[in-house]
Amino acid sequence: MAVQPYSPLSGGFLTGKYKQNDPNNVAGTRGTSLPDGSSDEGKSDDRLSGDNPFGDSKFTERNWEILNVVKNIAQETGYQPAQIALNWLLTQQSVASTLIGASKAEQLTSNIEALTIELTQEHYLALLNNSQPSYAYPASLFNEQIKRFIFAGNDVAAW
């Protein structure tokens, strides 16, 4: 089974356009610089107007850590953070396709160019290791230690 991720750049979060500890991330206008270097000072972003609907899911410490890994790899390779994020996503075995929300021709071109990027194995591992979800109960029971206990150290495969 394959998946088609919706909002693979998390509403612009993985482009690097939001700044950590920016009080404007919670409502109204941002006053940050866009990925192309231009300013959006004073421009409203409807996704963040009023009470921030993403406050408890987008601007988390863990997500900032993931974004920092993406930005570091982008800086090392000379690509944009959005390109790194899209490239990583599209190399995942379970991803068949993804929806992109480009609002400008330049964004669309840049997003398509992400398909041509070849990152190192170390880059892919850094992205994978830093973006692994943390599972809550009962999924947390499906770890190697529990499997060894239940299956007496034997590998058990699905049919």
- pLDDT, tens digit (0-9, with 9 covering 90-100), for 86-127: 999 999 988 998 888 888 999 999 999 999 999 999 999 999
All residues at 6 or more sequence positions from 98 whose CB lies less than 8 Å from its CB, including other chains: 4, 5, 8, 86, 89, 90
Statement: residue 42 has pLDDT above 60? no
Statement: residue 65 has pLDDT above 70? yes
Q: What confidence score (pLDDT) does residue 106 get?
A: 94
Statement: residue 142 has pLDDT above 90? no
List residues bridging with 39 in a β-sheet: 33
Q: What confidence score (pLDDT) does residue 60 get?
A: 85
Statement: residue 154 has pLDDT above 90? no
Residue 23: pLDDT band with limits 50, 70, 90 = low
Region of 50 (left: φ > 0; alpha: ψ -120 to 50; beta: rest) is left
All residues at 6 or more sequence positions from 149 whose CB lies less than 8 Å from its CB, including other chains: none
